[in-house]
Amino acid sequence: MCGITGFWQNYGQADDTIKEIIYQMSSSLNHRGPDSQGMWTASEFGLALGHRRLAIVDLSSEGHQPMHSINSRYVIVFNGEIYNFKNLRQQLVSFGYSFRSHSDTEVMLAAFCQWGVETALQRFVGMFAFALWDRQEQVLHLGRDRLGEKPLYYGWMGNTFLFGSELKALKAHPHWQGEIDRNILTLLLRYNYIPAPYSIYQNIYKLPPGTLLTLATANSHPRPEPKPYWSMQSTVEWGQANPFLGDEKEAITQLDHLLRDTIGQQMIADVPLGAFLSGGVDSSTVVALMQAQSSQPVKTFTIGFHEAAYNEAHDAKAVAQHLGTDHTEFYVTPEEAVSVIPKLPTLYDEPFSDSSQIPTFLVAQLTQRHVTVSLSGDGGDELFGGYNRYFWANQIWQQLGWLPKTVRRAIANTITIRSPEAWNKTFDQISPFLPKRIQQRLPGDKLHKLATVLAVASPEALYKNLVSHWQDPASIVIGASEPQTNLTDTTCWAELANFSQWMMYLDTITYLPGDILTKVDRAAMGVSLETRVPFLDHRVVEFANTLPLDLKIRQGQGKWLLRQVLYQYVPPSLIERPKMGFGIPLDRWLRYELRDWAEDLLNEERLHREAFFNPQPIRQKWQEHLSGTRNWQYHLWDILMFQTWLEVQ
């Protein structure tokens, strides 16, 4: 796991000047790679590659980057891990290749020499972002892994092409003149993240997952577009056309074997390794299969909150005790959590407003004190049907979609007569009498969310409403229009007959890389911790998409098949409880601990002066939130995270 960066100016420049620039760019990524720094330049082209190394596999100097292929054709800077590099190495040895190191980077270079860039990419099992200079063809390739685990930004400042793992590396180039794109700001307010291919800056982009960008010149016109070498859309449609035909027992066995193999590969490291453990289905499955393959107790980590509605630490501890892991937990005070907020603009580089960014950073910080690599359970919800919307949204539309809009709107009005807090108190009283599977954390908020979707015209509109914060963000951002995304561009939609499967697919290509993986990568790499995500091995993804829906969602509960695998190692009594997510009591903090901070950022005069937002709807939501009549925590956090980020620009 590392940080990569570089630039191409398409004209010669003094070698000392180029080296100083690339040194500054790569130094900005020190947190991603504190172990060593490397750079390579071709001053005659105005080309430079920079690298910061976090040594994980082959800790010797032989793993240093930038690295050259044995035939000197290619030079690479690479961030990530190729988990099947040992198998690929054996194949390449049979073709006559020899290796001087034990690193996966050297295997990548040999694979490019043997099979070509795109074919080699299709053979890699792993997470990666890389820049590859082809000396023979004089072209530059940028590539990103299939699901988007590792980040890669790129773009143009005048005639200079820039790229890097994080925006701060691009900003370190003297040609940087980043201009905020107001249109893209609308996407932050809708989704709480900025989806690929966009960034907050004009002419700067995120390389989409599963694509390869090839440049024959630094500033060609028209500018080249990334080309897919793997497609989630094709994967999902192929899975529907070629479904898994075995019985339930065979499905459990096959998934167990596949996850064991994947997790076994991802446990290979020359540094201490552990896992995040929340006590939920996904992280518990990962830890259970790690412990089943380890002769020593696996190191596991969790953080807890003193607010019961947000605390999963006791559940994680129970799972850890059952599995016999070496478990570490840390209870966070509001003051400790709030102290993270000033770090967020630098950590994320562009506005990002998933408030679970705070506990994610804290658990990464805790984990890094003990290990250098941590496995995570991310991706299980999208692949195996874990989010409540996959079954609730389908049921809502089936049961209420036939009603006239006026009737659905009347139901919504009835719900919103009572505040979320009033509903929460009611549910607290009746909760002991409800089945566990329908109990919810903060049910009042969820009822108000339900009210907002009742008047929509189609299932697709219902989903868009569910994943949106501000429903009309272009009315909030002054002088902006909302761009098209994978969620609104129907050409990106897979052909799926079932609404739940359609939602799972869209979450996998939007929410997963744009929010979840971004959150985890920046939080972990901000403290020099590598994270690995076994569920996103593309072989697991491809198998999951052959499974019929009833192996994922059954009797109003998600992740049925994954639960059956887990219950071979952990009793259901330790797992069966309402889904919590990884949240913080943000609604209360905004009313109390964060009130003065938020009031300053949401000051009406300030909003007018900065001229990004229409103040009136923001102030209205702020006052309603403070009064307790509504919970607008997510809408307000979107604005607050932009305001906080803007302060440091």
Which pLDDT does position 55 carry in this prediction?
87
φ/ψ of 454, rounded to 5, equals -70, -25
Structure tokens at 238: 């192929």
424 pLDDT band, cuts 50/70/90, is confident
φ/ψ of 619, rounded to 5, equals -65, -35
Which whole-number Å values give the CA distances from 534 to 55, 105, 149, in the listed order? Answer: 20, 20, 11
Q: Which of 194-198, 455-459, 468-472 has the lowest mean pLDDT?
A: 455-459
Number of H helices, E strands in the chain: 29, 17
CA 223 to chain centre: 27
- The three-point CA angle 174-179-182 to 5° equals 165
Fold designation for 233-384+500-574: Rossmann fold (3.40.50)
492 is catalytic: no
188 pLDDT band, cuts 50/70/90, is very high
1 pLDDT band, cuts 50/70/90, is low
* pLDDT higher than threshold 90 for residue 394: no
Strands 373-375, 326-332: pairing kind: unpaired
Axis-axis angle for helices 281-291, 248-266 (nearest 10) = 70
Q: Which of 116-130, 410-424, 581-595 has the lowest mean pLDDT?
A: 410-424
Which pLDDT does position 255 carry in this prediction?
98
Q: Which of 455, 443, 440 is nearest to 396 (CA)?
A: 455
556 pLDDT band, cuts 50/70/90, is confident
Domains 2-230 and 233-384+500-574 alike in fold: no
Which residue among the candidates 1, 2, 39, 462 is catalytic per the annotation? 2
Paired residues of 532 in beta bridges: 375
Q: pLDDT of 219-238, one tens digit each?
A: 878 899 999 999 999 999 99
Could you tell me the strand order of the sheet in which 299-305 lies?
326-332, 299-305, 273-276, 373-375, 530-532
Q: Mean pLDDT throughout 419-447?
A: 69
Which pLDDT does position 435 carry in this prediction?
65
Distance in angstroms (rounded) separating the CA atoms of residues 622 and 602: 8
Q: What's the mean pLDDT when you consider all of the chain?
A: 93
b/e sequence 419-437, b meaning 16+ C-beta within 10 Å: bbbebbeebeeeeeeeeee
Which amino acid, 238? W
φ/ψ of 72, rounded to 5, equals 70, 10
578 pLDDT band, cuts 50/70/90, is low
Q: Which of the pair, 167 or 555, is modelled with greater confidence? A: 167
* pLDDT higher than threshold 80 for residue 200: yes
Structure tokens at 270: 């020359």
Distance in angstroms (rounded) separating the CA atoms of residues 637 and 470: 11
Q: Which of the pair, 623 or 403, is modelled with greater confidence? A: 623
* pLDDT higher than threshold 80 for residue 23: yes
Which CATH number does the domain 2-230 belong to among 2.40.50.140, 3.60.20.10, 3.90.76.10, 3.40.50.300? 3.60.20.10
Which pLDDT does position 440 carry in this prediction?
66
436 pLDDT band, cuts 50/70/90, is low
**Is the Cβ–Cβ distance between 2 and 51 less than 8 Å?**
yes
* pLDDT higher than threshold 80 for residue 437: no
* pLDDT higher than threshold 70 for residue 439: no
b/e sequence 18-50, b meaning 16+ C-beta within 10 Å: bbebbeebbebbebbbebebbbbbbbebbbbbb
Q: Which residues contact 605 (CB under 8 A, 6 or more apart)?
A: none
Distance in angstroms (rounded) separating the CA atoms of residues 51 and 65: 6
CA 630 to chain centre: 29
DSSP class of 226: P
**Is the Cβ–Cβ distance between 273 and 373 less than 8 Å?**
yes
Structure tokens at 362: 């804290």
Distance in angstroms (rounded) separating the CA atoms of residues 644 and 340: 12
Q: Which of 582, 523, 538, 535 is nearest to 561 (CA)?
A: 535
Name the burial class of residue 329, with classes exposed (0-12), middle (13-18) and buried (19+) by CB atoms within 10 angstroms of its CB.
middle
φ/ψ of 48, rounded to 5, equals -150, 140
Distance in angstroms (rounded) separating the CA atoms of residues 38 and 23: 8
113: how many CB neighbours lie within 10 A of its CB? 18
Strands 2-8, 47-53: pairing kind: antiparallel
Which pLDDT does position 69 carry in this prediction?
97
Distance in angstroms (rounded) separating the CA atoms of residues 6 and 154: 9
Q: Which of the pair, 451 or 383, is modelled with greater confidence? A: 383
Q: What percent of the chain has pLDDT over 70?
A: 96
């003094």: which residue's tokens? 14
Q: pLDDT of 341-363, one tens digit each?
A: 999 999 999 999 999 999 999 99
Q: Mean pLDDT throughout 2-13?
A: 91
212 pLDDT band, cuts 50/70/90, is very high
Helix/strand/coil for 640: helix
**Is the Cβ–Cβ distance between 561 and 384 less than 8 Å?**
yes
> What are the residue ranges spanned by the domains of the chain?
2-230, 233-384+500-574, 585-649
Q: Mean pLDDT throughout 198-202?
A: 98
